[in-house]
Amino acid sequence: MAADPEQKIAFREMTIGDLDSVIEVEKRAYTFPWSKGIFTDCIRAGYDCRLLCYRGEIAGHAVMSTGAGEAHLLNICIRRELQGQGFGRLFVHHVLARARFLEADTIYLEVRPSNKKALQLYESIGFIEVGIRKDYYPDTNGREDALVLALNLTD
């Protein structure tokens, strides 16, 4: 089943009041989830914090910083039981539209090399690898590098 507007999908700004639900989605999707404090700091700092809602419930969240013509996608997450159904692709395209709206020319993100599905998604959208951050992510066996990906938004 692919995500589409017929399925009651909406995007909106994340608020402090949403954080308990956001944390539940985050904890179920990631072994090393962000804390409520990190999300709170991002909202208070004015980052572009967005929600994907499906059938009236939070189905995903994204946090993006912007400045000096660049955007950085810091976190994007889809509810575990909705993964692999097109929601991630739809949400990434929403985030890209937001980055353009906020006048970014390029968007960057980090992804675990072991997260093959996310990496394939980003590459299929046009992201290219521009670097590696050594020991960036916590891992059950210590640390994992991050691939740094970028997408030109002016093409």
Q: Are 9 and 53 in contact (CB under 8 A)?
A: yes
Smallest Cα–Cα separation from 76: which of 104, 41, 111?
111
Active-site residue 47, yes or no? no
Element (H, E) at 19: helix 19-29
DSSP bridge partners of 107? 71, 151
What is the spatial distance between Cα 41 and Cα 97, in angstroms, rounded to a whole number? Answer: 23
Active-site residue 24, yes or no? no
Catalytic residue among 26, 108, 110, 144: 110
Q: Is 62 exposed, middle or buried (0-12, 13-18, 19+ CB in 10 A)?
A: buried
DSSP bridge partners of 89? none
Catalytic residue among 26, 108, 122, 144: 122
**Where in the sequence numbering do the catalytic residues fall?**
110, 122
